[in-house]
Structure 1
Amino acid sequence: MSEGLRERLLIEHGPVTLRIGLPVNNTVLLRVLRTELGLSLVEIKSARERVLAGGYSGTLPEIEHLARRLRAAGIDATASRAGNGPGRGG
Protein backbone atom coordinates (compact mmCIF):
# COMPACT_ATOMS: atom_id res chain seq x y z
CA MET A 1 0.00 0.00 0.00
CA SER A 2 1.40 3.38 -0.94
CA GLU A 3 2.09 5.85 1.85
CA GLY A 4 -0.38 8.31 0.29
CA LEU A 5 -3.20 5.76 0.29
CA ARG A 6 -2.31 4.69 3.82
CA GLU A 7 -2.47 8.27 5.08
CA ARG A 8 -5.78 8.87 3.29
CA LEU A 9 -7.31 5.75 4.88
CA LEU A 10 -6.13 6.82 8.32
CA ILE A 11 -7.54 10.32 7.86
CA GLU A 12 -10.87 9.19 6.41
CA HIS A 13 -11.52 6.13 8.58
CA GLY A 14 -9.22 6.49 11.57
CA PRO A 15 -6.80 3.92 12.93
CA VAL A 16 -7.69 0.34 13.80
CA THR A 17 -6.01 -1.40 16.72
CA LEU A 18 -4.78 -4.98 16.92
CA ARG A 19 -6.27 -6.74 19.97
CA ILE A 20 -4.74 -9.95 21.30
CA GLY A 21 -6.46 -12.39 23.64
CA LEU A 22 -4.38 -13.55 26.57
CA PRO A 23 -2.53 -15.72 27.32
CA VAL A 24 -0.38 -15.56 24.21
CA ASN A 25 2.52 -17.71 23.03
CA ASN A 26 5.29 -15.09 22.77
CA THR A 27 7.41 -17.22 20.45
CA VAL A 28 4.56 -17.54 17.96
CA LEU A 29 3.68 -13.84 18.29
CA LEU A 30 7.28 -12.79 17.63
CA ARG A 31 7.58 -15.15 14.65
CA VAL A 32 4.39 -13.83 13.01
CA LEU A 33 5.35 -10.20 13.64
CA ARG A 34 8.80 -10.75 12.18
CA THR A 35 7.49 -12.62 9.14
CA GLU A 36 4.59 -10.29 8.36
CA LEU A 37 6.18 -6.95 9.21
CA GLY A 38 9.76 -7.66 8.15
CA LEU A 39 11.14 -6.23 11.38
CA SER A 40 14.52 -6.78 13.00
CA LEU A 41 14.78 -8.68 16.28
CA VAL A 42 14.98 -5.42 18.23
CA GLU A 43 12.01 -3.95 16.36
CA ILE A 44 9.78 -6.99 16.87
CA LYS A 45 10.30 -6.87 20.63
CA SER A 46 9.11 -3.27 20.65
CA ALA A 47 6.18 -4.16 18.36
CA ARG A 48 5.28 -7.09 20.67
CA GLU A 49 5.11 -4.73 23.64
CA ARG A 50 2.84 -2.34 21.70
CA VAL A 51 0.61 -5.24 20.61
CA LEU A 52 0.30 -6.62 24.14
CA ALA A 53 -0.41 -3.14 25.53
CA GLY A 54 -3.16 -2.54 22.94
CA GLY A 55 -1.17 0.20 21.24
CA TYR A 56 -0.41 -1.32 17.84
CA SER A 57 -2.56 0.34 15.19
CA GLY A 58 -2.76 1.00 11.47
CA THR A 59 -5.26 0.92 8.64
CA LEU A 60 -8.07 -1.65 8.64
CA PRO A 61 -6.48 -3.67 5.79
CA GLU A 62 -3.08 -3.71 7.55
CA ILE A 63 -4.40 -4.75 10.94
CA GLU A 64 -6.95 -7.24 9.62
CA HIS A 65 -4.23 -8.93 7.56
CA LEU A 66 -2.00 -9.22 10.63
CA ALA A 67 -4.90 -10.46 12.78
CA ARG A 68 -5.68 -13.17 10.21
CA ARG A 69 -2.07 -14.34 10.20
CA LEU A 70 -2.04 -14.42 14.00
CA ARG A 71 -5.30 -16.40 14.12
CA ALA A 72 -3.88 -18.87 11.60
CA ALA A 73 -0.94 -19.33 13.99
CA GLY A 74 -3.30 -20.01 16.91
CA ILE A 75 -3.39 -16.57 18.53
CA ASP A 76 -6.73 -14.94 19.35
CA ALA A 77 -6.46 -11.66 17.43
CA THR A 78 -8.94 -9.10 16.18
CA ALA A 79 -8.88 -5.73 14.44
CA SER A 80 -11.01 -3.16 16.25
CA ARG A 81 -11.79 0.53 16.20
CA ALA A 82 -10.92 2.56 19.30
CA GLY A 83 -12.84 1.40 22.37
CA ASN A 84 -13.80 -2.00 20.90
CA GLY A 85 -12.36 -5.46 21.29
CA PRO A 86 -11.94 -8.16 23.92
CA GLY A 87 -12.46 -6.74 27.37
CA ARG A 88 -13.11 -3.24 26.02
CA GLY A 89 -16.87 -3.21 25.71
CA GLY A 90 -16.75 -4.28 22.07
Structure 2
Amino acid sequence: MLGDDDSLRWDTEVMCPACGEGMAVCGGELPDATRERMLAERGRAVVRVRGEVDRVAVMRVPRHRFPVGPAEVKGLLEQVREGEPGGALPEAELLVRRLRATGVDAVAARQAITPDAPAGE
Protein backbone atom coordinates (compact mmCIF):
# COMPACT_ATOMS: atom_id res chain seq x y z
CA MET A 1 0.00 0.00 0.00
CA LEU A 2 1.30 3.48 -0.80
CA GLY A 3 1.12 5.71 2.24
CA ASP A 4 0.35 9.41 2.33
CA ASP A 5 3.90 9.99 3.55
CA ASP A 6 5.32 8.68 0.25
CA SER A 7 6.30 5.32 1.70
CA LEU A 8 5.46 1.72 0.92
CA ARG A 9 3.69 -0.36 3.57
CA TRP A 10 3.22 -4.10 3.22
CA ASP A 11 0.30 -5.87 4.90
CA THR A 12 0.26 -9.52 3.86
CA GLU A 13 -1.60 -12.57 5.09
CA VAL A 14 -0.70 -16.07 3.96
CA MET A 15 -2.38 -19.37 4.81
CA CYS A 16 -1.01 -22.84 4.16
CA PRO A 17 -3.60 -24.85 2.22
CA ALA A 18 -2.27 -28.12 3.65
CA CYS A 19 -2.15 -27.45 7.39
CA GLY A 20 -4.19 -24.27 7.74
CA GLU A 21 -1.43 -22.36 9.54
CA GLY A 22 -1.46 -18.66 8.83
CA MET A 23 0.97 -15.79 9.00
CA ALA A 24 0.40 -12.04 8.90
CA VAL A 25 3.06 -9.46 8.13
CA CYS A 26 1.91 -5.91 8.77
CA GLY A 27 3.93 -2.85 7.93
CA GLY A 28 7.64 -2.76 7.34
CA GLU A 29 9.52 -5.01 4.94
CA LEU A 30 8.00 -7.88 3.03
CA PRO A 31 9.82 -11.19 3.68
CA ASP A 32 11.83 -12.29 0.61
CA ALA A 33 10.06 -15.65 0.33
CA THR A 34 6.64 -13.99 0.44
CA ARG A 35 7.72 -11.38 -2.12
CA GLU A 36 9.03 -14.02 -4.53
CA ARG A 37 5.81 -16.01 -4.21
CA MET A 38 3.75 -12.89 -4.88
CA LEU A 39 5.84 -12.07 -7.95
CA ALA A 40 5.44 -15.65 -9.24
CA GLU A 41 1.66 -15.52 -8.78
CA ARG A 42 0.95 -11.96 -9.92
CA GLY A 43 3.86 -11.10 -12.18
CA ARG A 44 6.25 -8.20 -12.16
CA ALA A 45 5.44 -4.60 -12.92
CA VAL A 46 6.88 -2.44 -15.66
CA VAL A 47 7.58 1.30 -15.25
CA ARG A 48 7.48 3.29 -18.46
CA VAL A 49 8.38 6.92 -19.02
CA ARG A 50 6.73 8.77 -21.87
CA GLY A 51 8.34 11.44 -23.98
CA GLU A 52 11.75 12.96 -23.57
CA VAL A 53 13.04 13.10 -20.02
CA ASP A 54 16.00 14.69 -18.30
CA ARG A 55 18.20 11.68 -17.52
CA VAL A 56 19.89 13.46 -14.61
CA ALA A 57 16.54 14.35 -13.04
CA VAL A 58 15.33 10.77 -13.39
CA MET A 59 18.53 9.42 -11.85
CA ARG A 60 18.17 11.74 -8.86
CA VAL A 61 14.82 10.22 -7.86
CA PRO A 62 16.02 6.73 -6.91
CA ARG A 63 19.31 8.00 -5.44
CA HIS A 64 17.49 10.56 -3.32
CA ARG A 65 14.69 8.26 -2.18
CA PHE A 66 16.12 4.75 -2.19
CA PRO A 67 19.36 3.51 -0.58
CA VAL A 68 21.09 2.59 -3.83
CA GLY A 69 24.37 3.60 -5.42
CA PRO A 70 25.04 5.11 -8.86
CA ALA A 71 25.49 1.72 -10.55
CA GLU A 72 22.11 0.48 -9.31
CA VAL A 73 20.44 3.73 -10.36
CA LYS A 74 21.92 3.45 -13.86
CA GLY A 75 20.64 -0.14 -14.08
CA LEU A 76 17.19 0.93 -12.90
CA LEU A 77 17.09 3.76 -15.42
CA GLU A 78 18.03 1.39 -18.23
CA GLN A 79 15.39 -1.08 -17.05
CA VAL A 80 12.74 1.66 -17.14
CA ARG A 81 13.88 2.95 -20.55
CA GLU A 82 13.75 -0.59 -22.02
CA GLY A 83 10.38 -1.41 -20.44
CA GLU A 84 11.83 -4.41 -18.61
CA PRO A 85 9.87 -5.89 -15.71
CA GLY A 86 11.02 -4.94 -12.25
CA GLY A 87 9.43 -5.59 -8.88
CA ALA A 88 5.94 -5.77 -7.50
CA LEU A 89 3.25 -3.37 -8.70
CA PRO A 90 3.23 -1.34 -5.44
CA GLU A 91 7.01 -0.87 -5.74
CA ALA A 92 6.62 0.33 -9.33
CA GLU A 93 3.77 2.66 -8.37
CA LEU A 94 5.93 4.22 -5.65
CA LEU A 95 8.71 4.88 -8.17
CA VAL A 96 6.15 6.35 -10.61
CA ARG A 97 4.78 8.63 -7.88
CA ARG A 98 8.30 9.90 -7.19
CA LEU A 99 9.10 10.36 -10.88
CA ARG A 100 5.87 12.31 -11.44
CA ALA A 101 6.78 14.60 -8.54
CA THR A 102 9.80 15.71 -10.60
CA GLY A 103 7.69 16.28 -13.73
CA VAL A 104 8.40 12.97 -15.46
CA ASP A 105 5.41 11.41 -17.25
CA ALA A 106 5.55 7.82 -16.02
CA VAL A 107 3.15 4.90 -15.66
CA ALA A 108 3.27 1.49 -13.98
CA ALA A 109 1.57 -1.65 -15.25
CA ARG A 110 1.66 -5.31 -14.33
CA GLN A 111 3.39 -7.48 -16.90
CA ALA A 112 1.22 -10.27 -18.27
CA ILE A 113 2.19 -13.77 -17.15
CA THR A 114 2.38 -16.30 -19.96
CA PRO A 115 1.51 -19.92 -19.09
CA ASP A 116 4.83 -21.37 -20.27
CA ALA A 117 7.16 -18.74 -18.78
CA PRO A 118 7.87 -17.90 -15.11
CA ALA A 119 6.83 -14.46 -13.90
CA GLY A 120 9.29 -11.76 -14.84
CA GLU A 121 10.67 -13.40 -17.98
Unpaired runs of 5+ in structure 1? Answer: 84-90
Indicate whether 1:51 and 2:95 are aligned: no
Contact 1:36/1:66 (<8 A) preserved: no
Aligned-partner Cα distance in 2 for 1:11–1:82: 11
RMSD of aligned C-alpha atoms? 1.6
Q: Can you list the C-alpha shifts for 1:32-62, whole angstroms capped at 9, x where unaligned?
A: 0212332111221122111111114110111
The total of aligned residue pairs comes to 83
More helix by share: 1
TM-score for the superposition, normalised by structure 2 = 0.62
Q: Percent identity?
A: 39
Higher relative contact order (CA 8 A, sep 6+): 1
C-alpha distance in structure 2 between counterparts of 1:78 and 1:30, whole Å? 16
Partner amino acid, structure 1, of 2:36: E
**CA shift in 2, pair 1:56/1:11, >3 Å:** closer
1:3 is matched with 32
- Which consecutive aligned stretches of 4+ in structure 1 deviate over 3 angstroms post-superposition? none
Counterpart position of 1:18: 47
**Which TM-score applies when normalising by structure 1?**
0.80
5+ long unaligned stretches in structure 2: 1-29, 113-121
* 1:30 and 2:59 are equivalent in the alignment: yes
Structure 2 match to 1:87 = none
- Report the Cα offset of residue 74 of structure 1: 0.8
